[in-house]
A and B are shown apart, each in its own frame.
Chain A
Amino acid sequence: MADSNSRVIVITSGKGGVGKTTTTANIGVALSHHLGEKVALIDADIGLRNLDLALGLENRIVYDIVDVVEGRAKLRQALIKSKSNQNLALLPAAQTRDKSAVSPSQMIQIIQELQEEGYTYILIDCPAGIEQGFRNATAGATEAIVVTNPEMSSVRDADRIIGLLEAQELHSPYLIVNRLRPKMVKQQEMLAVEDVQDVLGSNVRLLGVIPEDEVIITSTNRGEPAALLEGNLAGQAYRNIARRLKGETVPFLNLDEKTGFFDRIKSIFGGKR
């Protein structure tokens, strides 16, 4: 890539509905809002636009990625800056076209332009599946985050995706286990994080574990990513992920404490694990 100072990370999963878009929005917010990075988010899910909703930017879209590719708009015109945070910008997907409207080489070109604009983190929200959309989303990326839920079908798809990423020279991807229910793990009704890691192998690097939380749904609906909510465990997990992504060593949240919800919150504020 042209500018070695910026990181281009694709967020992918293979299976749909595991939380790629929510994860992209939350990491983007945490990196820009809490850590002061200049972040560009690319919604590569052309035809099934979602990332704008998760960020609450759906009313402000004028141009999209296909307009940029086809020359109807400049990249700068299509980028939507977050109201609350000038460090965060979104390049929305087109809703009326499909994946073939953009090619991998055009994607690489867009990423290079964003790097020239000085964005330090470029996060690409990959569509579900392993077809053209996946190829587009991974084309310009130099790192990958694989999101999975602790259930077999999701882990198998993640495994498939890791194989495809390796074939594209994207080795040792990061792993996020999303929607974990500690109680169910304890009762052996859900895969534990260790089980997921066991299947996917030692060369995937665990970046974080997000507990199942209804707040995620309400905050996504409202367009305010949970990472903005102080005192929310899932939001805390996303903020920790952003810090780990920057290279900090942050201990993993203890999700399976016997204590009640309020005690857990207190312990987070107290700095204890």
Chain B
Amino acid sequence: MVCREILYTELRYCVTTFMGGVEILQQVEITPWHNGLLNELLLTVPVEGTWEEVLSRVEANMQENKSSFTGRSPQITLHLGTRSVGVEDLDGLVRQIQTKYALLTVAVVSTDLTTQEAARRLALNVYMMQPGSALVFATSEAEAGNNALYLPQTIRSGQKIVHAGTVIVGGDVNAGAEVVAEGDILVFGTLRGLAHAGSHGDEKARIMAGNMRPQQLRIANTFAGAPPDAPPAKVRLTEVARIENGKITVAPY
């Protein structure tokens, strides 16, 4: 698990479309893609149909593509879209793929809370966006803006949001929660947990919060702990954190 974790922090996903439930996937599909370091497989599961149907269609598709699974224990990412999958079901699918085809499931792409939690319990990485086939980076601010992920809810302890663009949280980010974004992080409520903006080295990234109370802030490769002399939590501090002269500074917005 540990090496898997390290490997994935090195990866970058291209940002093509944000799939917030608008995209409807009909077929079980297996497509090869390059994750930036090595070749992997991506299994796309349709949103429609019962879980039993999904399993049998995966099975059929796997049989068909068996010959293309080359290399030493190839890795696979499961794209489950908006489907809600419990931990037992997901575990079953992961085991089926592992035992029958020797494919190691490393991550799940999902926008569903239940599925994400199930994946986390199975020590899989969770992504909200479909990984792409080639590395494409935003070339303008306008393009980068389209990559923003809006989460209306509060991010609770133990939940981790990883996103290749900017993340906007409508609620709070509680202590023990983590938000990691390649772009900026905007929290409308109280930021109590960990926020890491510019996670792939963007030193211009900023972290904004309606009430800035973080345990730790990270921007690019710099990090800062909470000051020991913060005023009582009831005083609302709307602040922005950015890198100035190589250090993270927090100033009123």
Contact = CB atoms under 8 A, between A and B. Distances in A.
Interface of A: 104, 130, 135, 152, 156-157, 159-160, 162-164, 166-169, 195, 198-199, 201
B135 interface: no
Nearest to B88: A104
Contact of A159 (B87, B116, B118, B174): B174
A160 B116 contact: no
Contacts of B114: 167-169
B156 A159 contact: yes
A175 to B, nearest CB: 14
B212 to A, nearest CB: 15
Interface of B: 87-88, 113-114, 116-118, 153-154, 156-159, 171-172, 174-176, 190, 192, 233
B233 A163 contact: no
B24 to A, nearest CB: 22
B88 A199 contact: no
Nearest to A105: B88
Contact of A163 (B118, B157, B175, B192): B157
A169 B114 CA distance: 8
A135 B87 CA distance: 9
B154 A201 contact: yes
Contact of A160 (B153, B158, B171): B158
A11 B172 CA distance: 25
A236 B203 CA distance: 57
B198 to A, nearest CB: 26
A201 B192 CA distance: 13
B158 A163 contact: yes
A201 B190 CA distance: 10
B87 to A, nearest CB: 7
A201 B171 contact: yes
B117 A159 contact: no
A104 B174 CA distance: 29
Contacts of B87: 135
B188 to A, nearest CB: 13
A198 B211 CA distance: 12
**Which 5 A-B pairs give the minimum distances between C-beta atoms?**
A163-B156, A167-B117, A160-B157, A159-B157, A160-B158
A164 B156 CA distance: 9
B123 to A, nearest CB: 13
Q: Which of B116, B156, B176, B190 has the most CB of A within 10 A?
A: B156
Given A156-B157, A166-B113, 17 more contacts: A152-B175, A159-B157, A159-B174, A159-B176, A162-B156, A163-B157, A163-B158, A163-B159, A164-B158, A167-B114, A167-B117, A168-B114, A169-B114, A195-B233, A198-B190, A201-B154, A201-B171
